[in-house]
Chains A and B, each alone.
Chain A
Amino acid sequence: MFGGIDPGLLIASLMVASVPIILAAIGELVVERAGVLNLGVEGMMIMGAVCGFIASVQTGSAVLGFVGGALGGAALALIFAVLTQFLLANQVASGLALTLFGLGLSSLLGQGFVGIRPPATEALPFGPLAESPFFGRVIFGHDWVVYLSIASVAVAWWVLKSTRLGLILRAVGENHDAAHALGYKVRRIRVLAILFGGAMAGLGGAYVSLVRVPQWTDGITAGAGWIALAIVVFAAWRPWRALIGAYLFGGISVLQLNLQAAGARIPVEYLSMSPYLITIVVLVIMSSGKGKAALNAPANLGQTFHASR
């Protein structure tokens, strides 16, 4: 026990609290690495939340709920893909519109689902391992989505760093004209990346409505999508840093609530602002001296691509 808080419990709830932003941030990170800036993460998350909720209530299966959530997020992302990749609309404006549209549409879809409880997502059965004192809660006490979120970070890191697919994706994001000249289908790759980002945001949203809050309420994601966007920048487009960023933001929020519940006399204002302070500090450190190159965003981030040029 530390200050009345069980560290195992704290880390466990920190990991759970961070799942939605990790999933959404990894999705957005891949999208941005492909050179597309999709500011509609919040809208895709809440579509995932409502579609996942509806799917799981209708089928009685939590797993199908997550599938529905991913499909819902991807469906909304498809609109963005059509607008920005085929109609060459401005990405910033389209993304913001996507968030507004997602919030409104989710509210409409969710009308008949208020006050219903979704099927439960249980912790994976690790048997005796889950009984062990500290690691039982921290490592073996979670539902499958928590493991999926961490696995997604590892996979994104590995694919981006070590595979041909990742190299192509990065090439498209860094210089779409060169990638095009090499014969890569810039538009197709970007559309697929956008759909992946939508599906991941949808999964994150579904986690909010199916596990973290287990209910449907209008506006349930309450800004988590914006935090995911911020984390991508904080992480300088690196998957593992995104994980750290998500744990930092999610963790501080949980930590300050736990400190209050434990009666610790720490002013909550300082804790609440600490992730932002750390973000500033990290950005300052990274943008000075040797680390500077690492801070660079994908060179073609947010630029529209047309093959005729």
Chain B
Amino acid sequence: MNRRTLLATAALGLGLAFGGVANAQAMDKAKACFVYVGPIGDLGWSYQHHQGALAVQEAYGDKVEVTWQENVPEGADAERVLTQMALSGCNIIFTTSFGYMDATNAVAAKFPNMKFEHATGYKREQPNVATYNARFYEGRAIQGHIAGKMTKSNKIGYIGSFPIPEVIMGINSYYLHAKKVNPAVELTVVWAFTWFDPAKEADAAKAMIEQGVDVIASHTDSTAPLAEAAKANGAVIGFGQASDMADYKPSPRVSSIIDNWAPYYVKRVGEVLDGTWTQTDVWAGIKDGEVEIGEITDAVPAEVKAEAEAMRDAIAAGTYHPFTGPIKKQDGSDWLAEGAVAPDGDLLGMGFYVEGITADIPK
């Protein structure tokens, strides 16, 4: 019997012993655990999740014990960390990166009484796995608008992490809205194949700047692309990603997408406490306050800022959807007809670029 089956058996035993009691019961005290893909100090993605964790502590005080682990690699290591967390008595575990998807479901199968919340994924193979995500593409639309208006070289860039639907829909949204206000715009996409590697992110930004790109959006977790853009002394602008990254105001950071996970985390941990937690799939956006648009600085002309803010308000009000037809796919085939808005299913499985992007998606 190897260690894994031993653990699984132990877990099964625990489950049999307490299973009937623990389900749908209010608790006096809960333990909430968080798994981060990078360090909290990345000032981006993981930092923002940690702010949510701190908000949970704030909201429930003594009733909740919050623990977390940073720098957990995606893949097999994640499964080990999750198993350890589950054995240490976590009642709810938030796994905050796409690459934890299979590990989350695998561990959830062994610990049926624990709640698992997987960020940005789509697999809910076990009844105790919920998924949650934010409509980042709404923020990308606003960035695209600013990028299209602000670029002087008509070359805009996007640093991708991994070619997964979440990132691809960000790229499409960014490009569509830049193209709408500036038909001459060209998009350069560079895949870093990492979520967090400041030196590589900076190199990616540098490579684009050398190619004449002067507006850079990034989908990685650190502030390094902004630091690289800052070297250009105002000639290159960028956006805060996941967190406000206000240290780079007013330029190169001219605006930002802020992930505000706190309300969701507080709500879900509360549901664990009062025994009402159920499996859900939540995809909230600007309207729900989960995606916030950071202050648009004075480096952006007033009328562009006003347009961007109007778009933000229209998305919040539900009167505008960033993917509204007619939109064709890259290969020229039709995707959305005139006036049609993209169904969520299409977005969540998005594996294609829209018409006009010249690059290929790595397979």
Q: Which of A110, A214, A268 contacts B41 (CB under 8 A)?
A: A110
User: When A218-B39, A219-B38 are in contact, do A267 and B71 touch as well, CB less than 8 Å?
Assistant: no
A9 & B210 in contact (Cβ 8 Å cutoff): yes
Structural contact, B71 and A219, CB atoms closer than 8 A: yes
* A261 touches which of B43, B190, B197, B202 (Cβ 8 Å): B190
Within 8 A of B (CB), among A193-224: 208, 212-215, 217-224
Docked Cα-Cα span, A219 to B188, in Å, equals 28
Residues of chain A with a CB closer than 8 A to B358's CB: 263
- Bound CA–CA A4/B43 (angstroms): 34
Q: With A223-B197, A254-B203, A268-B193 known to touch, is A261 a contact of B38 (CB < 8 Å)?
A: no
Interface: B250 (CB within 8 A)? no
Contact of A257 among B43, B71, B203, B362 (CB under 8 A): B203
Partner of B203, one of A13, A221, A269: A13
Task: From B71, B213, B224, B359, give the contact of A215 (CB < 8 A).
Answer: B224
Most chain B C-beta atoms within 10 Å of own C-beta, residue among A9, A213, A223, A272:
A213
- Chain A-chain B contacts (Cβ-Cβ < 8 Å), number: 112
User: Out of A221, A223, A258, A272, which one reaches B193, CB within 8 Å?
Assistant: A272
B199:A261 contact, CB within 8 angstroms:
no
Q: Is B202 in contact with A213, judged by CB distance below 8 angstroms?
A: yes
On whether A117 and B224 interact (CB within 8 A), knowing A261-B210, A261-B211, the answer reads no
Q: Which of B198, B202, B206, B222 has the most CB of A within 10 A?
A: B198
In the bound complex, CA of A213 to CA of B201 (Å): 9
Question: Which of A17, A258, A267 is most buried by chain B, counting CB atoms within 10 A of its CB?
Answer: A258
Q: How far is the CB of A270 from chain B (nearest CB, A)?
A: 10
A114 and B194 alpha carbons, distance in the complex (Å) = 21
Instruction: Look across to chain B and name the residue whose beta carbon is closest to the beta carbon of A115.
Output: B247
**Chain A contacts of B194 at CB under 8 A?**
222
Per-residue interface assignment for chain A, residues 106 to 127, with 1 indicating a CB less than 8 Å from any chain B CB and 0 otherwise: 0100110011110000000000
Give the CA-CA distance A11 to B145 in the complex, in Å: 35
Residue of A111, A212, A260, A265 near B207 (CB, 8 A) is A260
Q: Is B200's CB under 8 angstroms from A253's CB? A: yes
Task: Decide if A17 touches B203 in the complex (CB within 8 Å).
Answer: yes
B27-46 vs A, CB cutoff 8 Å, 1 = contact: the mask equals 00000000000111111000
Q: How far is the CA of A254 from the CA of B192 in the complex (A)?
A: 10
Asked if B191 is an interface residue, CB under 8 A from chain A, the answer is yes
Q: Nearest Cβ distance between residue B350 and chain A, in whole angstroms? A: 20
Q: Report, as a range, how many residues of chain A touch the other chain.
A: 35 or more
A89 within 8 A of B: no
Docked pose: A166 CA to B194 CA in angstroms: 40
A-side contacts of B261, CB under 8 Å: none
**CB pair B203 A217 closer than 8 Å:** no
Interface size class of B (residues with CB under 8 A): 35 or more
The chain A residue sitting closest to B157, CB to CB, is A261
Contact B213 A217 (CB under 8 A): no
Task: Kindly name the residue among B39, B197, B200, B203 whose own CB sees the greatest number of chain A CB atoms within 10 A.
Answer: B203
In this complex, what residue of A is CB-closest to B226?
Answer: A215
Q: A217-B41, A260-B189, A267-B363 are in contact. Are A222 and B197 (CB under 8 A)?
A: yes
Bitwise interface map of A from 248 to 266 toward B, beta carbon under 8 Å scored 1, else 0: 0000011001101111010
Q: In the bound complex, what is the Cα–Cα distance between A116 and B41 (angstroms)? A: 13
Which residues of chain B in 133-150 are interfacial with respect to chain A, using CB atoms and an 8 Å cutoff? none
CB-defined contacts of A222 to chain B, threshold 8 Å: 194, 196-200
Minimal beta-carbon separation of A43 from chain B (angstroms): 14
**Cβ-closest chain B residue relative to A9:** B210
A6 at the interface (CB under 8 A from B): yes
Contacting residues, chain B, for A13 (C-beta < 8 A): 203, 206-207, 210
From residue B163, how far is it (CB to closest CB) to chain A in Å? Answer: 10
Contacts of B196 in A (CB 8 A): 219, 222
Q: A217-B42, A222-B199, A224-B199 are in contact. Are A267 and B362 (CB under 8 A)?
A: yes
Determine which residue in B193, B211, B223, B247 has the highest number of CB atoms from chain A within 10 A of its CB, and name it. B211
Q: Chain B nearest CB: distance from A266 CB in Å?
A: 10
A20 vs B197: C-alpha distance in the bound complex, in angstroms? 14
Which residues of A have CB within 8 Å of B40?
A: 218
> With A4-B211, A261-B213 in contact, do A217 and B191 touch (Cβ < 8 Å)?
no
Q: Are A208 and B199 in contact (CB under 8 A)?
A: yes
B314 within 8 A of A: no
- For the complex, is B360 an interface residue (Cβ under 8 Å from A)? yes
Nearest CB in chain A: distance from B76 CB, A: 17
Residues of A within 8 A of B71 (CB): 219
B59 shortest CB reach to chain A, Å: 25
Whether the Cβ atoms of B188 and A253 lie closer than 8 Å is no
A212–B199 touching, CB < 8 Å? yes
In the complex, residue of chain A having the shortest beta-carbon distance to the beta carbon of B359: A263
Chain B positions 142-199 with a Cβ under 8 Å from a chain A Cβ = 157, 188-194, 196-199
Inside 8 A of A4's CB, which chain B residues have their CB? 211
CB of B106 within 8 Å of the partner chain: no
Instruction: List 13 contacting pairs A-B, 8 Å CB cutoff, sorted by A.
Output: A4-B211, A6-B210, A20-B199, A215-B198, A217-B43, A217-B224, A221-B199, A257-B192, A260-B190, A261-B208, A261-B210, A268-B193, A272-B193
Binding site for A on B (CB under 8 A): 38-43, 70-71, 157, 188-194, 196-200, 202-204, 206-208, 210-211, 213, 222-224, 227-228, 230-231, 247, 358-360, 362-363
